[in-house]
Amino acid sequence: MTKVDFKDLDLEETKTWVKQCGHKAYRAEQIRQWVFRHQTHSFDKMTTLSKDLRNYLKSHAYISQLKTAKTEVSVDGTKKFLFELEDSNSIESVLIPERDHYTACISSQVGCAMGCTFCLTAKQGFTRNLKCSEIVNQVIQIRKSMDQPDRLTNIVLMGMGEPLANYEAVARAVRNIIFPDALNFSRRRVALSTCGLVPEIERLGKELPVNLAVSLNAADDATRNLLMPINRKYPLTQLIEALSRFPLPKGRRITFEYILIKDINDRLSDATHLTKLLKTISAKINLIPFNHYQGSPFEAPDEGTILAFQDELMRNNFTAMIRKSKGCDISAACGQLRTGL
**Rounded to two decimals, what is the model's pTM?**
0.94
> Strand pairing of 319-322 and 102-105?
unpaired
What per-residue confidence (pLDDT) applies to 330?
Answer: 67
**For 248, which DSSP code?**
-
- Which pLDDT band, with edges at 50, 70 and 90, does 185 fall under? very high
* Residue 95 scores a pLDDT above 50: yes
Question: Per-residue b/e over 47-66, b at no fewer than 16 CB within 10 Å?
Answer: eebeeebbebbeeebbbbbb
CB atoms within 10 A of CB 168: 9
Q: Which of 112, 119, 195, 334 is catalytic?
A: 334
What per-residue confidence (pLDDT) applies to 291?
Answer: 86
CB 196, CB 234: distance < 8 Å: yes
What per-residue confidence (pLDDT) applies to 13?
Answer: 94
Task: Please name every residue paired with 257 in a beta bridge, in sequence order, or none if there are none.
Answer: 215, 286
CA–CA separation, 178 and 180 (whole Å): 6
- Which pLDDT band, with edges at 50, 70 and 90, does 336 fall under? low
337 Cα distance to chain centroid: 13
* Residue 98 scores a pLDDT above 50: yes
* Residue 278 scores a pLDDT above 90: yes
Q: pLDDT tens, 110-122? A: 999 999 999 988 8
Task: Give the whole-number percent of the chain exceeding pLDDT 90.
Answer: 89
* Residue 328 scores a pLDDT above 80: no
What per-residue confidence (pLDDT) applies to 324?
Answer: 80
For 168, residues 6+ apart whose C-beta sits below 8 A from its C-beta are none
* Residue 327 scores a pLDDT above 80: no
Q: pLDDT tens, 125-163? A: 999 999 999 999 999 999 999 999 999 999 999 999 999
CB atoms within 10 A of CB 324: 10
3-state DSSP helix/strand/coil % of the chain, to nearest 5: 40, 20, 40
Q: Which of 92, 134, 162, 312 is catalytic?
A: 92
* Residue 339 scores a pLDDT above 90: no
Task: Catalogue all structural domains in the chain, each as residue range(s) with its CATH number.
Answer: 4-62 (1.10.150.530), 67-330 (3.20.20.70)
Examine the residue annotation and report whether 72 is marked as an active-site residue of this protein. no
**For 231, which DSSP code?**
H
CB atoms within 10 A of CB 101: 14
Q: Nearest to residue 66, comparing CAs of 22, 23, 110? A: 110
Q: pLDDT tens, 6-42? A: 999 999 999 999 999 999 999 999 999 999 999 999 9
CB atoms within 10 A of CB 269: 10
* Residue 337 scores a pLDDT above 90: no
- Long-range contacts, stretch 238-245, CB < 8 angstroms, 24+ apart: 238/198, 239/196, 239/198, 239/201, 239/214, 240/277, 240/278, 240/280, 240/281, 242/198, 242/201, 242/202, 243/201, 243/212, 243/214, 243/281, 244/280, 244/281, 245/202, 245/205
Rounded to 5°, the CA angle 142-188-34 comes to 45
* Residue 280 scores a pLDDT above 50: yes
* Residue 340 scores a pLDDT above 70: no
CA–CA separation, 161 and 109 (whole Å): 5
What per-residue confidence (pLDDT) applies to 332?
Answer: 56
Length of the chain (residues): 341
Examine the residue annotation and report whether 134 is marked as an active-site residue of this protein. no
What per-residue confidence (pLDDT) applies to 295?
Answer: 84
* Residue 341 scores a pLDDT above 50: no
CA–CA separation, 291 and 120 (whole Å): 10
Q: pLDDT tens, 189-222? A: 999 999 999 999 999 999 998 999 999 999 999 9
CA–CA separation, 60 and 340 (whole Å): 33
